[in-house]
Amino acid sequence: MATSLSTPKLSTTLSSPALHTLLYKHKFSLLSLSNPIKPLHFNFLTHSRTTPSLSYTRRHFSAPRAESSNGADAPRHYDFDLFTIGAGSGGVRASRFASNFGASVAVCELPFSTISSDSTGGVGGTCVLRGCVPKKLLVYASKYSHEFEESCGFGWNYEVEPKFDWSTLIANKNAELQRLTGIYKNILKNAGVTLIEGRGKVVDPHTVDVDGKLYSAKNILISVGGRPFIPDIPGSEYAIDSDAALDLPTKPNKIAIVGGGYIALEFAGIFNGLKSEVHVFIRQKKVLRGFDEEIRDFVGEQMSLRGIEFHTEESPQAIIKSADGSLSLKTSRGTVEGFSHIMFATGRRPNTKNLGLETVGVKMTKNGAIEVTVFLSFFLICLNYSANVFLNDSFISKLLLQVDEYSRTSVPSIWAVGDVTDRINLTPVALMEGGALAKTIFADEPTKPDYRNVPAAVFSQPPIGQVGLMEEQAIKEFGDVDVYTANFRPLKATISGLPDRVFMKLIVCAKTSKVLGLHMCGDDAPEIVQGFAIAVKAGLTKADFDSTVGIHPTSAEEFVTMRTPTRKVRSSPSEGKAEHDIKAAAGV
């Protein structure tokens, strides 16, 4: 993430491409916080390479030397230029790109399993094996029940009710995962990357131990992702997490899902669609904290209409197992009995345990995420005198709290990408970070991942797609905004007779007409928003949207036909607060 600096002159200088290159190429040890004007010790790095093409032979790259405080100096020769621990999305991308840039690369990964543990994992990582891909396959399976119901209004009649077989779904899903992990292995093999099966542990800043065998590397990349978190309450041993929920031997008859985030909602939709009785327990008043408020309200209402029961403002306290094997969930408001399964979707934690990172000096946050530090360049020293920027204790402390723009940890030879850093925990973001890291280290092209306007989706039922700012964020950052919303019954629902609806929202800067945020909840929302994400990323205006011819009849066309703001939010000069001028939206 970009470092935020309060001094305009300094901030402008730091934004130049030339300085970003120098920030990467020249590292200095930080001055003592107790003496802010103590001279810095210069410690230059050597980078004499030219930008490589994809056709060159393997060669060794110069790399940052470890500081003496790390307990080990960098050796003169290494087994690999890059050693990656973890073959998930970010690790595979970084390793493949680095190899294409001419580096010698190795990746270590645990043996394949659909459920991760300290001894099992698999090439492909969370997304491919126990996240995005298998979850989406189960979403597809669960949607058929709703589609069968919809079809009746279109003339379809089923003399025998369709039957679902859980074991067939799981077997076919697992076969697909085996195919995908094989594809990922071939990707690494074809790129010339050495794949080592086993558990990796960092021994020193340039050495990795894989099940007793040592490998040296100029650079080490940590991309081990995260794993589900279950809180420690009485009876938690009876609970399952998202890994297990994707690989159950039998379909739940009645399931409690604890959590109100995207994982909880996605599994609630899956099991509800497969005709399980679903109860969702959340500590908040509404689901999806961190999403747009109107989207939160809308998806909760729609999922309730489909038969999911939400228990709001209830915190789990204990799980009780009865003699007949059924489970009861005790919460802050009472006890609900008769569950066949209780699933916790209460977040994920970085998978940094037993990697040896603390031993070699890699700084981590309280939840185990790798903390990546910012290194000061000599330009800051010059600015300290020429621009009268005083580098006091609080200023430097603020910099030290920022995430390094190039995914480097507090140990110069160790890097980290993906969920293990707990930045934006999305597969496409890990891919972006991995590619940027390979360019930074091996292509003489320091590259920062761009976290602006990252689109996201929730594969709930109905699904959600969003890109850009939420309304609250836009008001805080820009003050004056126009909000356009549409809440309508889609064409398909007019004949199906079902209560399905679609909600769409545009947030526009009133001063510039730039579209700041775009949100949708309804059928095909993720597919639709992926296309509109390009428009938001490109900084298009509401006029650009208005001048675009829609495709009719579609739900997507509503984004280019909303003309009248639902409300106008204007900053109040006297109070510094926002007042709302609410108007009816056209077509609602």
Q: Say if residues 37 and 381 touch (Cβ distance below 8 Å).
A: no
According to the annotation, is 266 in a ligand binding site?
yes
pLDDT higher than 60, residue 128: yes
Q: Say if residues 300 and 308 touch (Cβ distance below 8 Å).
A: no
Of 1-5, 79-83, 126-130, least confident by mean pLDDT is 1-5
pLDDT higher than 50, residue 113: yes
Q: Coil, helix or strand for 58?
A: coil
Helix axes 262-273, 132-151, angle to 10 degrees: 40
pLDDT of residue 76: 63
552 catalytic per annotation:
yes
pLDDT higher than 50, residue 298: yes
Q: 97: pLDDT confidence band, cut at 50, 70 and 90? A: very high
According to the annotation, is 327 in a ligand binding site?
no
Which residues, at least 6 apart from 15, have a Cβ–Cβ distance to it below 8 Å? none
pLDDT of residue 65: 35
pTM to 2 decimal places: 0.82
Q: 68: pLDDT confidence band, cut at 50, 70 and 90? A: very low
| Bigger pLDDT: 263 vs 47 | 263
Which value, to the nearest 10 degrees, does the dihedral of the CA atoms of residues 146, 147, 150, 153 take? -150
pLDDT of residue 341: 99
pLDDT of residue 371: 73
Rounded Cα distance between 51 and 532, Å, is: 34
Rounded Cα distance between 5 and 395, Å, is: 9
SS3 content of the chain, % helix, strand, coil (to 5): 35, 20, 45
Q: 61: pLDDT confidence band, cut at 50, 70 and 90? A: low
Percent of the chain with pLDDT over 70: 79
According to the annotation, is 215 in a ligand binding site?
no
Q: Which CATH class is domain 8-111+185-227+349-442?
A: alpha beta
User: Exposure of 369 by Cβ count < 10 A (0-12 exposed, 13-18 middle, 19+ buried)?
Assistant: buried
Structure-block tokens of residue 97:
């790109």
Average pLDDT of 151-177?
A: 96
pLDDT higher than 50, residue 198: yes
Element at 263 (helix H, strand E): helix 262-273
Rounded Cα distance between 4 and 502, Å, is: 38
Q: 58: pLDDT confidence band, cut at 50, 70 and 90? A: low
Helix axes 132-151, 166-190, angle to 10 degrees: 140
Choose among 106, 44, 102, 50: nearest CA to 78.
106
Element at 400 (helix H, strand E): helix 393-400
According to the annotation, is 263 in a ligand binding site?
yes
According to the annotation, is 131 in a ligand binding site?
no
Q: Which of 206, 279, 552, 580 is catalytic?
A: 552
Element at 488 (helix H, strand E): strand 481-488
According to the annotation, is 200 in a ligand binding site?
yes
Q: 106: pLDDT confidence band, cut at 50, 70 and 90? A: very high
CA torsion sign for 322, 326, 330, 336 is negative
Residue with structure tokens 């607060």? 577
Residue 555 CA: distances (Å) to CA of 233, 466, 485, 503, 522? 45, 15, 13, 10, 9
Helix axes 262-273, 293-305, angle to 10 degrees: 20
Quickly list DSSP for 290-340. TS-HHHHHHHHHHHHHTTPEEE-S--EEEEEE-TTS-EEEEETTEEEEEES
- Straight-line distance from the first to the last Cα atom of the chain, in angstroms, rounded to the nearest whole number: 39
CA torsion sign for 94, 97, 99, 101 is negative
Which value, to the nearest 10 degrees, does the dihedral of the CA atoms of residues 113, 115, 121, 124 take? 80
Residue 325 CA: distances (Å) to CA of 249, 313, 339, 476? 16, 27, 9, 51
**pLDDT digit string, tens, across residues 318-367:** 999 999 999 999 999 999 999 999 999 999 999 999 999 999 999 888 77
pLDDT of residue 116: 87
According to the annotation, is 259 in a ligand binding site?
yes
pLDDT higher than 60, residue 230: yes
Rounded Cα distance between 540 and 239, Å, is: 47
According to the annotation, is 419 in a ligand binding site?
yes
Q: Does domain 462-582 have CATH number 3.50.90.10?
A: no
Q: Tell me whether domains 8-111+185-227+349-442 and 236-346 share a fold.
A: yes
Q: Coil, helix or strand for 520?
A: strand
Q: Say if residues 558 and 488 touch (Cβ distance below 8 Å).
A: yes
**pLDDT mean across residues, the chain:** 84
Percent of the chain with pLDDT over 90: 74
Average pLDDT of 11-40?
A: 39
pLDDT of residue 367: 74
Residue 388 CA: distances (Å) to CA of 6, 12, 36, 63? 13, 15, 14, 34
Rounded Cα distance between 255 and 166, Å, is: 15
For residue 356, the Cα-to-chain-centroid distance in whole angstroms is 25
According to the annotation, is 265 in a ligand binding site?
yes
Q: Break the chain into its structural domains and give their ranges.
A: 8-111+185-227+349-442, 126-179, 236-346, 462-582
According to the annotation, is 98 in a ligand binding site?
no
Element at 512 (helix H, strand E): none
The secondary structure of 267-278, three-state, reads: HHHHHHHCCCEE
CATH number of the domain located at residue range(s) 236-346 in this protein: 3.50.50.60
pLDDT higher than 70, residue 254: yes
**pLDDT digit string, tens, across residues 419-461:** 999 889 999 999 999 999 999 999 999 999 999 999 999 999 9
Length of the chain: 588
Q: Say if residues 145 and 274 touch (Cβ distance below 8 Å).
A: yes
Half-sphere exposure of 256 (CA within 13 A, CB side): 27
Residue 8 CA: distances (Å) to CA of 15, 133, 161, 524? 11, 45, 68, 44
pLDDT of residue 370: 78
